Structure 1
Amino acid sequence: MDIFHGRALSPAGPATDIMPVTPNDAADLAITASALFIEIGGIIEIVTVRGETRSVTVGDMMLLPVGVRRVLATGTTAQGIHALVVA
């Protein structure tokens, strides 16, 4: 049984997929993330859906509930980054 069948999608979730992220200074994510999940903490440099560049220190196994269009390679030390997407 598919509990998502016929359900309207919402940026507030739940996510419909989770995709691994390779930080990149020049390219946006294929699908804008509604949140990020980080396996190994550190610093994460992001560009938000509003176009603002932010630097955030995150812990291990952390959910960062902010809309993200790009994860920058420069300055990002966190690892195992995944984009939660609604599409």
Structure 2
Amino acid sequence: MPDRFAHMQASLSGPASSGFAITPSDGSDLPETTRALYVGTGGNLSVRMLSGETLALSNVSSGSLLPLRVTRVFATGTTAAAITGLV
């Protein structure tokens, strides 16, 4: 299938080209830093940002697309589910 944008440089403001399922963990970082998180089932999120800062996000809605550079989604404090990391 042709990709008319194959010659373009990827940017953080452009669409994601890959993704992976996230299982929240207090002890393991994600396989790579995200460009965004998709939250399938709403709830609370506890994340470590690329900067190293830990954030608690309350009442994230189902179907939310959050433009966050995240290195870890913590199990403790996370009640949201069906989380996908977009890269």
TM-score between the two structures when normalised by the length of structure 1: 0.90
Residue 55 of structure 2 aligns to which amino acid in structure 1?
Answer: R
Q: CA deviation at 1:2?
A: 1.4
Query: For the pair shown, which has the larger CA radius of gyration, 1 or 2?
Result: 2
Matches within 5 A, 1:20-31: 20-31=21-32
Q: Which runs of 5+ in 1 are unaligned?
A: none
Aligned partner letter, 1:79: A
State the Cα deviation string for residues 18-52 of structure 1 (Å, max 9, x = none). 21101111111111001100011000100001100
Which residue does the alignment assign to 1:39? 40
Q: Which consecutive aligned stretches of 4+ in structure 1 deviate over 6 angstroms post-superposition?
A: none
**Deviation per CA, 1:31-87, whole angstroms, max 9, x where unpaired?**
1001100011000100001100000020111111111111001111000000011xx
Task: Structure 2: state its 5+ residue gaps.
Answer: none
RMSD: 1.0
What is the alpha-carbon distance in structure 2 between the residues aligned to residue 19 and residue 75 of structure 1?
Answer: 21
Do the aligned partners of residues 53 and 17 (structure 1) sit closer, same or farther apart at CA in structure 2, a change above 3 Å counting?
Answer: same
Evaluate the alpha carbon distance shift between residue 3 and residue 19 of structure 1 in structure 2; reply closer, same or farther with a 3 A threshold. Answer: farther
Identity %: 41
Letter in 2 for 1:63: L
